[in-house]
């Protein structure tokens, strides 16, 4: 019922009184006061509408007797905020007190720049500059590489504001300021810079812009009024401050004569902490300078809070108070920023976030950087130079490139790039579009039934997938990010039910996993739970989920309104499960920093206010999960209406996916059709003549198939089998050991024998001859061989002859020489690739060979020297393509430990590796229940490809009954969908022939006590696998590269032009002239997918970003394929052109 002017009304709950109607948008109307529940108000006029709500002008009484007038909303959705009910029976309410306006801010630009103490191209520094395009960079004069400066101006970061620092010692700085002529010292110091190296720093790039825009005056030259030194001798420091004021003015005057700017101050963090310190002591500098430099540090965070010392934002008081005489403000530059243990703890050493005593993880450091960027953007600060991106040895604990203390590759540059791209999208959007609608209540319900061959499917997993707009506000929905969860957190001493474990260890700590999926996967990851009816026992060790260390960047730019509740409730309803790398503790401390208005309402979110929440950059898929009941029924209730995808998976049932619109009460009934039988392999007479275990091994969906039948298997590793009795290596072996080992393997039920193929002491032809003999023996026993084409480690003889110079000591914590980056960057083409070609060609018609493996446990070490793993991926794809070109009959795999081990768990690098059609299945090597980083089974699920546990075993690192440990390990991996399991070091001979493993092998020599029991265990499992396979019908997958499947790429993928390809202003080519062509991709040139595809003129078009040969960045649209040619692919073309000519396509 409408209110009337002069009517007395009361608040029903806590309500914001605002300066004007409205509460949405980038700068919503300020809050004048927080009206507590049952506050009496007077209506002063007519209502108006704003942001979808009705607002009333009100007058309230202040604590001092004065009155305050503003606007308040009448209601939000079904929640009443104001009522005309009489307040006579209500208890008295304390007078209202006005509040200090507090607002949140969504960053519109990246403000994070680089501090370069060294400009050497170590750990990908130069590429990092190109990727980030930092707004500011500070570089030391002795690190100012001419080539780098020229490239920065030409194409790497042409718009960056470059600041130079000319190093002089502290004593020399003090001597300048203690001089009788500080102005002269300032001019001489400027002259020293101008004349350095024959005027090097007065040079300009091809655009006419100076290589270095401005120079710092002095660095941390004087202690400030906040220091003990000042308090002991204030008069002395007043004289030095006056001298520095004069010095800086003269310094700048000389530089400006040459068109070069100067940056003032640059004091040590926290020394000059108040605006008065600058206004009183440096009036001349403030009048003369445009650019003011500050150093800002904190520990253990830049975000103010309990237990934190932070100098972040001290510049703000100076910026506000020191307005220039012409009315303009200074430009602020943070010439040093970061975290140091010494800030606020003067007895601590000056060490950064990667110190040894109390290091921070990357997630915690990123919290500071992301928040600091928002603060700087709010004040239009030019940028902050992160100390140090180009680091030198003494300051390595501040590093942003390379690896952390545990050897994991740092991803801070990836995070800054994601931040930059994200805020660029925000900035490009119209201002009005940034105002969100109030939060929606559930408006739809989806119920249904799943049947297969006419029968209900019970226990099927049903996933409802939507974007952030649909599921971001839905409790229980989690981010859909393959590989972000790994079941590797060991827990012991815990007693309780599954739900208790979920509440205690998972719900507020792990993103990407729902309660439904936790219930389903926990017994798979922990087979003993099945035997204990889902209850944990204190004496057992369990593996619970955790997020992997490498997760995408998050930013706080998601807005929510119309929500009421406590911070913890908001976490559970709106954020939990959706932001990897953030637990509840991290959310709470950041929420207050990004939403300072929350302090006015005692930690409660109000329905008539707008708040910022975190969002994972680059991921816009979220999922609700449930399980079908006994009659195959499922239900999703109270979800927003909209367009969703549904995915259904169940054991023994083909995977089912469907896009559908959910509106109101939507009911469905889905009958999953049985798959078409996989085609039988036709054998040529040449193949059929040879003894063989069957046709070629193929894949159908997530299964291996032979002659239309599923193959699941136990295998073994016998790495030296090819060379037994040769005299080339393994000198205790004899020729007869080959038959003996193969006989024992077959008796155990094994089907696949993994071997290492090359020998450093043998020729290619001898290798071919010996592999042929081994295949003959294997085929006679119905066994397959799986050859690895090179070993990563120098300690074996299974290396390519002549390639020993590619092995080097790369890891200081690992004593063995490893294949170096030179091998992957092209060295492999010298001898390895000819060897592969010859061997593959010799056996391309032999079905006794299971698959080709590019190498054993290969990776690029150290990974940070291969940005984006570009060289490693190119090597893998090139070799796989060569093999498939020669031999289309056999499968190909990598032989890797895991994607994580090769640092391919960053973003979607795993997809770039395994997503190409040349790789048919994935491999995992897992010992001693070391499950961390072994999430490749999830990648296999997403890619619909098989995976195998290619190496496994238990040694000294995992004491216990190896038989029971192996039983549990197999149950886990086969539960996750493995198609094969292969124990390491199979040596069934009665004595040591040198091909076992003293720690984790399976043998009678070192592990005789459990050999027979393991033998029986594997034989039993092999029989079970055979029975499972016999009962299955394989599923034939779609071709991921088919033009009919336009979702082959995802945003962030790197694609390569397979021929000359036009890049157009918009999708489509019909009716367009050449003005629509922006540029052209040359064959082999890379581009980045930056959005979703569009269908125009019969082709699939993708938005791409590329850098031209001239260094310009271009964004446009390119076609994926024509009717006859593939134009874009995730691998390089098979052969790059020399002088050939190409017709421009697309």
pLDDT digits (tens, 9 = 90+) for 500-537: 999 999 999 999 999 999 999 999 999 999 888 889 99
Q: What is the mean pLDDT of the chain?
A: 88
Give the max Cα distance, the chain: 106
Whole-angstrom distance, CA of residue 807 vs CA of residue 763: 20
pLDDT score recorded for residue 105 = 80
Please give the share of the chain, as a percent, with pLDDT higher than 90. Answer: 66
Whole-angstrom distance, CA of residue 212 vs CA of residue 214: 6
Paired residues of 757 in beta bridges = none
Whole-angstrom distance, CA of residue 1123 vs CA of residue 1107: 28
Whole-angstrom distance, CA of residue 547 vs CA of residue 507: 12
Assess whether the previous peptide bond of 795 is cis (omega < 30° from 0): no
Per-residue pLDDT band at 1082 (split at 50, 70, 90): confident
Tell me the mean pLDDT in the region 914-939.
95
pLDDT score recorded for residue 124 = 87
- To the nearest 10 degrees (0 to 180), the angle between helices 362-378 and 412-428 is 30
746 has a pLDDT exceeding 80: yes
| Predicted confidence (pLDDT) per residue in 442-465, tens digit | 589 999 999 998 899 999 999 999
Burial call 217-256: b when 16+ CB within 10 Å, e when fewer: bbbbbbbbbebeebeeeeeebeebbbbbbbbbbbbbebbe
Nearest to 82 by CA among 44, 54, 61: 54
| Predicted confidence (pLDDT) per residue in 996-1009, tens digit | 999 999 999 999 88
Whole-angstrom distance, CA of residue 303 vs CA of residue 312: 7
Chain centre distance of CA 847:
40
Lowest mean pLDDT among 29-33, 99-103, 384-388: 99-103
112 has a pLDDT exceeding 90: yes
13 has a pLDDT exceeding 90: no
User: In terms of pLDDT, which residue wins out, 957 or 1111?
Assistant: 957
Nearest to 528 by CA among 509, 546, 541, 544: 541
Q: Decide if 719-1030 and 1054-1129 have a common fold.
A: no
Chain centre distance of CA 1020:
41
Burial call 64-95: b when 16+ CB within 10 Å, e when fewer: eeeebebbbbbebeeeebbbeeebeeeeebee
Domain ranges of the chain: 8-83, 112-430, 483-551, 719-1030, 1054-1129
User: In terms of pLDDT, which residue wins out, 854 or 76?
Assistant: 854
- To the nearest 10 degrees (0 to 180), the angle between helices 764-780 and 832-842 is 40
Nearest to 487 by CA among 1025, 985, 1014, 968: 968
Whole-angstrom distance, CA of residue 42 vs CA of residue 56: 10
pTM across the whole model: 0.78
pLDDT score recorded for residue 816 = 92
pLDDT score recorded for residue 1140 = 39
pLDDT score recorded for residue 558 = 92
| Predicted confidence (pLDDT) per residue in 641-694, tens digit | 999 999 998 887 888 888 999 999 999 999 887 655 544 333 333 333 333 345
What is the CATH architecture assignment of 8-83?
A: Roll (2.30)
pLDDT score recorded for residue 66 = 75
Assess whether the previous peptide bond of 300 is cis (omega < 30° from 0): yes
Q: Dig out the tokens for 276 from the structure.
A: 């008065």
pLDDT score recorded for residue 103 = 59
E strands, 500-540, in order: 535-536
Tell me the mean pLDDT in the region 883-895.
96
712 has a pLDDT exceeding 90: yes
Handedness of CA 1046, 1047, 1049, 1050 (dihedral sign): positive
Q: Dig out the tokens for 695 from the structure.
A: 């046709």
Tell me the mean pLDDT in the region 1110-1132.
79
DSSP string for residues in 136-151: EEEEEGGG--HHHHHH
What is the CATH architecture assignment of 112-430?
A: Alpha-Beta Barrel (3.20)
Tell me if 490 sits within 8 A of 932, measured CB to CB. no
Judged on CB neighbours under 10 Å (0-12, 13-18, 19+), 496 is middle
User: In terms of pLDDT, which residue wins out, 680 or 738?
Assistant: 738
Paired residues of 60 in beta bridges = 68
pLDDT score recorded for residue 1144 = 56
pLDDT score recorded for residue 437 = 43
Please give the share of the chain, as a percent, with pLDDT higher than 70. Answer: 91
pLDDT score recorded for residue 1127 = 87
User: In terms of pLDDT, which residue wins out, 297 or 1028?
Assistant: 297
CATH class of 1054-1129: mainly beta
Per-residue pLDDT band at 858 (split at 50, 70, 90): very high
Q: Dig out the tokens for 260 from the structure.
A: 């070069």
Residue 92: partners with Cβ closer than 8 Å, 6 or more residues away: none
Lowest mean pLDDT among 699-708, 817-826, 876-885: 699-708
Q: Does domain 719-1030 have CATH number 3.30.70.600?
A: no
Cβ neighbours around 829 below 10 Å, total: 13
pLDDT score recorded for residue 64 = 67
Per-residue pLDDT band at 14 (split at 50, 70, 90): confident
Is 967 in a helix, a strand, or coil?
A: helix
pLDDT score recorded for residue 1041 = 39
């Amino acid at each position: 019922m409408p209110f009337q002017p002069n009517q007395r009304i009361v608040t029903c709950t806590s309500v914001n009184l605002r300066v004007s109607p409205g509460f949405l948008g980038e700068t919503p109307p300020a809050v004048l006061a927080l009206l507590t529940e049952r506050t009496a108000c007077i209506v002063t006029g007519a209502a108006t509408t704003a942001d979808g709500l009705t607002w009333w002008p009100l007058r309230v009484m202040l604590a001092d007797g004065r009155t305050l007038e503003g606007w308040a909303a009448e209601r939000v959705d079904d929640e009443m905020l104001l009522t005309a009910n009489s307040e006579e029976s209500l208890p008295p309410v304390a007078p209202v007190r006005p509040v200090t306006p507090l607002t949140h801010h969504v960053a519109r630009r990246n403000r994070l720049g680089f501090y370069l103490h060294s400009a050497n191209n170590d750990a990908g520094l130069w590429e990092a500059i190109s990727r980030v395009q930092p707004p500011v960079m500070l570089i030391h004069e002795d690190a100012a590489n001419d080539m780098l400066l020229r490239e920065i101006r030409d194409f790497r970061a042409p718009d960056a504001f470059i600041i130079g620092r000319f190093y002089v010692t502290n004593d020399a700085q003090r001597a300048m300021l203690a001089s009788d002529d500080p102005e002269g010292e300032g001019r001489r110091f400027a002259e020293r810079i101008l004349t350095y190296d024959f005027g090097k720093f007065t040079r300009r790039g091809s655009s006419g812009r100076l290589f270095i825009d401005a120079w710092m005056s002095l660095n941390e030259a004087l202690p400030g009024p906040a220091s003990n030194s000042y308090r002991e001798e204030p008069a002395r420091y007043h004289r030095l401050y006056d001298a520095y004021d004069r010095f800086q003015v003269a310094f700048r005057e000389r530089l400006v004569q040459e068109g070069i700017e100067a940056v003032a101050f640059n004091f040590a963090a926290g020394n000059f902490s108040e605006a008065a310190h600058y206004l009183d002591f440096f009036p001349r500098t403030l009048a003369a300078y445009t650019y003011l430099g500050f150093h800002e540090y904190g520990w253990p965070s830049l975000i103010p809070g309990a237990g934190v010392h932070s100098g972040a934002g001290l510049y703000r008081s100076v910026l506000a108070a020191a307005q220039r005489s012409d009315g303009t403000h200074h430009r602020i530059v943070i010439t040093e920023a970061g975290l140091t243990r010494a800030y606020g703890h003067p007895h601590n050493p000056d060490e950064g976030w990667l110190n040894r005593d109390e290091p921070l993880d990357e997630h915690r450091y990123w919290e500071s950087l992301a928040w600091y960027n928002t603060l700087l953007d709010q004040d239009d600060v030019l940028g902050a130079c992160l100390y140090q991106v180009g680091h030198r040895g003494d300051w390595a604990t501040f590093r942003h490139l390379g690896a952390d203390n545990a050897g994991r590759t740092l991803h801070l540059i990836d995070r800054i790039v994601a931040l930059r791209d994200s805020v660029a999208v925000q900035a490009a959007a119209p201002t009005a579009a940034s105002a969100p609608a109030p939060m929606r209540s559930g408006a739809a319900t989806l119920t249904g039934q799943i049947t297969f061959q006419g029968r209900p499917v019970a226990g099927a997993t049903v996933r409802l997938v939507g974007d952030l707009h649909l599921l971001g506000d839905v409790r229980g929905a989690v981010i859909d990010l393959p590989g972000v969860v790994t079941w590797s957190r060991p827990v012991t001493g815990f007693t309780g039910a599954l739900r208790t474990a979920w509440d205690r260890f998972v719900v507020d700590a792990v993103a990407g996993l729902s309660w439904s999926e936790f219930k389903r996967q926990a017994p798979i990851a922990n087979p003993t739970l099945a035997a204990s009816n889902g209850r944990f026992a204190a004496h057992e060790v369990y593996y619970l989920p955790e997020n992997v260390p490498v997760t995408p960047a998050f930013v706080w730019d998601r807005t929510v309104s119309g929500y009421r509740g406590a911070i913890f409730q908001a976490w559970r309803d709106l954020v939990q499960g959706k932001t990897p790398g953030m637990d509840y503790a991290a959310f709470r401390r950041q929420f207050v920093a990004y939403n300072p208005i929350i302090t006015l309402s005692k930690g409660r979110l109000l329905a008539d206010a707008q708040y910022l929440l975190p969002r994972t950059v680059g991921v816009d898929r979220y999922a609700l999960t449930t399980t079908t009941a006994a009659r195959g029924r499922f239900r999703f209730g109270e979800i927003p209406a909209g367009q969703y995808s549904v995915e259904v998976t169940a054991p023994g049932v083909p995977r089912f996916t469907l896009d559908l619109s959910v509106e109101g009460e939507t009911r469905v009934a889905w009958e999953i059709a049985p798959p078409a039988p996989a085609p039988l392999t036709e054998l040529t007479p040449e193949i059929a003549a040879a003894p063989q275990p069957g046709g070629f091994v193929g894949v159908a969906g997530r299964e291996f198939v032979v002659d239309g039948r599923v193959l699941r298997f136990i295998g073994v590793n016998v790495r030296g089998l090819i060379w037994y009795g040769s005299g080339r290596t393994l000198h205790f072996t004899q020729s007869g050991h080959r038959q003996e080992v193969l006989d024992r393997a077959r008796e155990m039920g094994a089907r696949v024998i993994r071997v290492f193929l090359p020998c450093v002491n043998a020729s290619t032809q001898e290798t071919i001859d010996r592999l042929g003999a081994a295949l003959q023996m294997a085929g006679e026993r119905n066994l397959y061989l799986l050859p690895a084409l090179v070993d990563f480690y120098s300690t074996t003889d299974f290396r390519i002859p002549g390639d020993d110079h590619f092995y080097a000591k790369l890891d200081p914590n690992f004593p063995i020489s490893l294949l170096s980056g030179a091998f992957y960057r092209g060295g492999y083409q010298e001898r390895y690739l000819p060897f592969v070609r010859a061997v593959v060609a010799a056996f391309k018609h032999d079905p006794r060979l299971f698959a080709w493996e590019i190498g054993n446990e290969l990776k690029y070490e150290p990974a940070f020297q291969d940005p984006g793993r570009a060289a490693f991926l190119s090597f893998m794809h090139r070799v796989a393509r060569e093999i498939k070109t020669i031999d289309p009959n056999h499968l190909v795999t990598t032989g890797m430990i895991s994607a994580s081990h090769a640092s391919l768990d960053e973003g979607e690098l795993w997809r770039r590796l395994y997503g190409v059609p040349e790789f048919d299945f994935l491999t995992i090597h897992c010992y001693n229940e070391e499950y961390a980083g072994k999430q490749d089974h999830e990648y296999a699920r997403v890619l619909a490809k098989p995976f195998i546990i290619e190496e496994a075993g238990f040694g000294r690192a995992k004491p216990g009954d190896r038989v029971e440990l192996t039983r549990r390990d197999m149950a886990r991996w086969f539960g996750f969908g493995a198609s094969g399991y292969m124990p390491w070091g199979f040596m069934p001979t009665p004595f040591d022939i040198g091909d076992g493993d003293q720690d984790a092998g399976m043998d009678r020599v070192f592990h005789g006590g459990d050999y027979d029991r393991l033998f029986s265990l594997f034989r039993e499992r092999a029989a079970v696998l055979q029975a499972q396979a016999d009962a299955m019908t394989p599923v034939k997958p779609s071709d991921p590269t088919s033009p009919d499947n336009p979702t082959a790429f995802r945003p962030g993928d790197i694609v390569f032009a397979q021929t000359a390809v036009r890049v157009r202003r918009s999708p489509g080519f019909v009716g367009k002239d050449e003005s629509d062509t922006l540029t052209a991709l040359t064959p082999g040139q890379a581009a980045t997918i930056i959005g979703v595809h569009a269908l125009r003129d019969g082709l699939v078009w993708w938005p791409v970003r590329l850098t031209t040969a001239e260094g310009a960045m271009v964004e446009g649209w390119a076609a994926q394929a024509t009717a006859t040619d593939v134009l874009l692919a995730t691998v390089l073309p098979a052969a790059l052109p020399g002088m050939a000519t190409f017709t421009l396509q697309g």
